[in-house]
Amino acid sequence: MELRHLRYFAAVAEEENVSRAALKLHVSQPALSRQIRDLEDELGFQLLERSAKSVRLTDAGRVFLTEARAVLQRAEDAVKAARAVATGASELHVGYAPSITARILPPTLRAFQAELPSVRVRLHDLSTEEMFAGLREGKLQIAFILRPTTARMRGLHFEELARDTLCLAVAPKHPLARRRTVTLRELAHEPLIAYSRKDYPEAHEMLNTLFAGTKSRPNIIEEHDSVSSLIAAVEAGTGVTVALQSLICTAGPRLKLIPFTPAPESLAVGAVWPNGGLSLAAEVFLKCAKEIAAKK
């Protein structure tokens, strides 16, 4: 089976007519019919039901058409990526959230640049919603986020890379800063600083889940659209925040992270990309990220 077989089959299926498909492909009708029959003979089942004036997909043909289109798109992407690398003009656009990727992103970049030095990586510090939009619009090839709910994953694929632990982040002079652990019931009395609900809905879903067993609601007094402003507000003593342990890589000594007791379930951090598949450069970047995450 060759790519031309898939290309010919897809054209016939889309046109629902061998003559029109032959004109579109610039081949003769007998040659096109022969190629489709050769494909069916190799597969061992019928893809098309033929009549005098048209053709229709069989049930097996409909399934095969979906997969054939995916293979053709993957091949086209591979050619584009390889051509871009060959001409030195390739770029890889990666979305990320600094607070959850600080442990794995820098070493991943170093490993990727060692493998594909001619590909320029453009990092985009974006909210979760902006990353979803960028992936669906083709502006990003891959992004790194917390595992989203299934309902928000339309057209996207997620793969877990690592798990991170939730902690309470407070200013170094906060009364709780000397504590070795803190309970969720104690947190219920604290003013909370959170990410923007509009841009980071998963952060609010996480808080609601976290507080579900305390019979209280999170006392959110401020919402921020970036990790830098959130850290600044907590450091200033405005309130406290619930954050992943990896936030310490970004905040450093500006904040104190205190484990919860009992420890809540850890959260999945991973990569997300369109269901259509990854470009060659994005595949290499993901491979590097998985290797780095496995060492952490």
Token code pair at residue 32: 């096109």
Spans of the chain, pLDDT less than 50: 89
Contact between 264 and 163 (Cβ < 8 Å): no
The rounded radius of gyration (Å) of the Cα atoms in the chain is 26
Q: Could you tell me the pTM of the whole model?
A: 0.67
Query: What's the pLDDT score for residue 212?
Result: 84
**Cα–Cα distance, 210 to 268 (Å, whole number):** 15
pLDDT at 130: 93
Within a 13 Å sphere around the CA of 176, how many CA atoms are in the beta-carbon half? 25
CA distance 232 to 171: 9
Residue type, 269: V
Q: At what angle do helices 280-295 and 59-87 cross, to 10 degrees?
A: 90
pLDDT at 284: 92
Strands 166-170 and 120-125: unpaired
Q: What distance in Å separates the CA atoms of residue 276 and residue 149, rounded to the nearest whole number?
A: 20
First CA to last CA across the chain, in angstroms? 43
Distance CA 163, CA 270 (A): 9
Asked if the bond preceding 262 is cis, omega within 30° of 0, the reply is yes
For the domain spanning 90-163+268-295, the CATH number is 3.40.190.10
Give ranges for CATH 3.40.190.10 in the chain: 90-163+268-295, 166-264
- Range list for CATH 1.10.10.10 in the chain: 3-86
A 10 A CB-CB count for 178 gives 10
CATH class for the region spanning 166-264: alpha beta
HSE-CB for 162 with a 13 A CA cutoff: 22
Domain 3-86 has CATH 1.10.10.10: yes
DSSP H or E stretch at residue 208: helix 201-211
Whole-angstrom distance, CA of residue 226 vs CA of residue 195: 7
- Taking the C-alpha atoms of residue 50 and residue 245, their distance in angstroms, rounded to an integer, is 62
